Amino acid sequence: MRLLLVEDEPTLNLQIATALRAEGYLVETVTQGQDALHLGLEEMFAAAVLDLGLPGLDGLSVLKRWRAHERSLPVLILTARGNWHERVAGIDAGADDYLAKPFHMEELLARLRALIRRSAGQADNFLRCGELRLNLQNHQVFLATQEITLTHHEFLLLACLLRHPGQVVTRSVLNEQIYPLDNERDSNTIEVFIGRLRKKLPEGWIETQRGFGYRLRAPNLPSTSSKTP
């Protein structure tokens, strides 16, 4: 799952990024508001952690421009503890939650999980499709009562498909969710991971939409189009 971290203080940036990566997230970090604005408009993220006190283009302006362009990614803003007016302005500008500095890293992680759950219409830490369940907190995957062991990239890929059950997810979106921006992206690698997932799931769960991407569908749910090899 891909997150955007916008924090100009180097030590805090590194601490948050390290904690997020330890939880299995793919993290893109920037320190400038202009870079954050560009990435938020051009790339797909599951959520963003956005410091409001940025030099140059401040975080509040970044957030307002994201929302003006109808970018609906969940945003957790970071503010100085005493700046209650920043928190109010951030919420009014479209932030989904806020956290005052200094904070406990466990609280930041918990708030992010809650934001991501709400954005997917979930009430808990699970993504579901039929009898398939993926736990975002402990990275376990179950089909009914049987646990399925996945590699890190397989988990990220399946989580992306589970966020859009029954919908076609393009190869470019899948690439964005499992590879950092500075990595070379090869669509053939996605096909390899899809092949591995198909071997670990019952036949028929992952459909190919030729020329577009892939769809996750529980076999007992209706399909919107025929399967292609």
Reported as type and span, the H/E element at residue 65 is: helix 59-68
> Which of the following CATH numbers is that of domain 126-216: 3.40.50.920, 3.40.190.10, 1.10.760.10, 1.10.10.10?
1.10.10.10
pLDDT at res. 107? 94
Hunting for tokens 């179950």 — which residue is that?
142
pLDDT at res. 229? 35
Beta bridge partners of 34: none
pLDDT at res. 186? 59
- CA–CA separation, 215 and 133 (whole Å): 16
> Whole-prediction pTM value?
0.65
What are the residue ranges spanned by the domains of the chain?
2-119, 126-216
pLDDT at res. 225? 41
CB atoms within 10 A of CB 192: 11
Going by the DSSP 8-state scheme, the letter that residue 96 receives in this structure is S
pLDDT at res. 223? 46
- CA–CA separation, 114 and 93 (whole Å): 20
Hunting for tokens 């302005």 — which residue is that?
89
CATH homologous superfamily of 2-119: Response regulator (3.40.50.2300)
Q: Do domains 2-119 and 126-216 have the same CATH topology?
A: no
- From first to last of its 229 residues, the chain has per-residue pLDDT tens of 789 999 999 999 999 999 999 888 889 999 999 999 999 998 888 899 999 989 889 999 999 999 999 888 999 999 886 677 877 888 888 899 999 888 999 999 999 988 887 776 655 678 888 889 888 778 889 998 899 999 888 988 898 888 888 888 888 878 877 766 555 555 578 888 899 999 999 888 999 988 888 999 876 644 444 333 3
pLDDT at res. 124? 62
